[in-house]
Amino acid sequence: MQLKYSIQIALGAKKKVGFIDGTSKKPKVEGSDLDDWTNNDCMVWSWLLNAISKDIVEAFIFDTIAHELWNELEERFSESNGPLIYQLQRQIASINQCDSSVSKYYTKLKQLWDQLSCLMQLPMCNCGSSKAMSNFAETHVVLYGIK
């Protein structure tokens, strides 16, 4: 999960996220736009391939565009959210400071909270309920397993 977000951040910094989420469409007309798109897609594709373990990279060489490679990686390696959410909730509930400094303890706890909130995002709405639920969750940390 961390690698996925790291890749998305790196591609966002280069303005290349569209090549993995499918919003950067391949031009249908031959010319410089198609050449530029192909060059950028190949660059993103190579970045993705370089992030894959050398032991299994050969299985992904034949995807034709970066978006297809990204989808294949997500399909093959993404975990179902249910077990991952449960695991994060258990980790949050059982974490303790022990000999760690307060800042190290809080950093670990915040990391777990952030991972959990990414997996449990509220659906978008126009009525304001989503914002109200978000505010509720922030002020009632009991939702994160802490009493």
Give the burial class of 37: count Cβ atoms within 10 A of its Cβ; 0-12 exposed, 13-18 middle, 19 or more buried.
middle
User: What's the domain range around 46?
Assistant: 2-77
What per-residue confidence (pLDDT) applies to 136?
A: 73
Q: Give the domain-ending residue among 58, 77, 96.
A: 77
Same domain, 52 and 112: no
Single residue among 43, 59, 77 that ends a domain in this structure:
77
Domain finish residue from 18, 42, 77:
77
In three-state form (DSSP H/G/I as H, E/B as E, the rest C), the secondary structure along 45-92 is HHHHHHHCCCCCHHHHCCCCCHHHHHHHHHHHHCCCHHHHHHHHHHHH
Q: Are residues 29 and 57 in the same domain?
A: yes
- CA distance readout (Å), 138 to 117, 130, 132, 134, 141: 11, 12, 10, 6, 6
Q: Has this prediction a pTM greater than 0.75?
A: no
42 plus 6 within the same structural domain: yes
Gap between the Cα atoms of 47 and 24, Å rounded: 17
Residues 108 and 126 in one domain: yes
Domains contained in the chain, number: 2
pLDDT, averaged per 10 consecutive residues of the chain (147 residues), comes to 81 93 91 92 92 86 88 77 84 92 93 81 69 71 48
